[in-house]
Amino acid sequence: MTDPSKNMIVRMFDVYKAYGKTSAIKGVSLEVASGDIVFITGPSGAGKSTLLKLIYKAEVATQGQIIVDGMNLSRIGSRQLPELRRRLGVIFQDFKLIAGRSVFDNVALVLEAAGEKPKIIEKKVMSVLRTAGIEEKARVFPPSLSGGEQQRVAVSRAVVGSPRLILADEPTASLDPDSAEQIMQLLETFHARGATLVIATHNRRIISRLKGREIRLERGCVKTQEISSDHEVEENQ
């Protein structure tokens, strides 16, 4: 159960998503409180990635309502979509970096799209790269980076605009244990700064490490919603 005293940054009401005759999401209702960590788990094909795509409106729900940071996604058009995206940071499993642009430029794109001034962009980008431990890679191009370094660039891009909500789709799936540990530390850092995290993952280690609420999907349906015992103790102190 979520704490009723908290503001809800994500609310989903009886949401369905179908691709033709195939239903990827079936009657999902859930709430994510501001400042929480929520894990979306389940087997491959359960609908985890689809659920995240619905939240940042890369996909549109077939039925039901989704409210993200006060914006009803069924009522916003293409003009309001940039405003929604500015409130979110999205971390993709396959990084989605632009190979022909430097690390700095990949991260700066978010701020450029928001109309920030060059001096502000320089300051914010270098600050987040410093936090990610890749400040010295600012002028390097993504193909020359390791997988772990590329994912740190992807995390930097997701958080540089100080979003209230960070969505991560299997952020450690393709990484070695040391790189995965670095990504977990980064996510902890930005959660401590106030971001809400919604993470789709198979990685039990990241769930144990970050401690949050787990929502398990099976065949597009919510099967269980659990809070780790450690997290419950923290909530009740």
Condensed to tens digits (0 to 9), the pLDDT of residues 68-84 reads 999 999 999 888 998 99
Pinpoint the alpha helices (H) of 114-176: 118-131, 147-159
Q: What is the mean pLDDT of the segment spanning 199-225?
A: 90
For residue 8, give the nearest of 32, 29, 26 by alpha carbon: 32
State whether residue 201 is helix, strand or coil: coil
Please give the single-letter amino acid code of residue 71: M
As given in the structure block, the two tokens for residue 59 are: 């996909």
For domain 35-44+78-227, give the CATH number. 3.40.50.300
As given in the structure block, the two tokens for residue 67 are: 């409210």
Look at residue 35 and tell me whether its pLDDT is greater than 70: yes
Q: What percent of the chain has pLDDT over 70?
A: 93
Q: What local confidence, expressed as pLDDT, does residue 20 receive?
A: 93
Contact 28, 44 (CB under 8 A): no
Condensed to tens digits (0 to 9), the pLDDT of residues 43-68 reads 999 999 999 999 999 999 999 999 99
Comparison of pLDDT for 198 and 78, the residue scoring more: 198
Look at residue 228 and tell me whether its pLDDT is greater than 80: no
Q: Which uninterrupted H or E stretch holds 16? A: strand 8-19
Q: What is the mean pLDDT of the segment spanning 133-145?
A: 97
Return mean pLDDT, the chain: 91
Q: Which string of DSSP letters, residue by residue, matches 42-80?
A: -STTSSHHHHHHHHTTSS--SEEEEEETTEEGGG--TTT
CA 100 to chain centre: 25
Confidence bin at 28 (pLDDT 50/70/90): very high
Q: Which neighbouring-strand residues pair with 90?
A: 167
Contact 10, 32 (CB under 8 A): yes
Condensed to tens digits (0 to 9), the pLDDT of residues 142-188 reads 999 999 999 999 999 999 999 999 999 999 988 998 999 999 999 99
Confidence bin at 235 (pLDDT 50/70/90): very low
The structural domains of the chain, with segments of one domain joined by +, span: 35-44+78-227
The phi, psi pair for 211, rounded to 5°, reads 60, 105
The phi, psi pair for 141, rounded to 5°, reads -100, 145
- Count of residues in the chain: 237
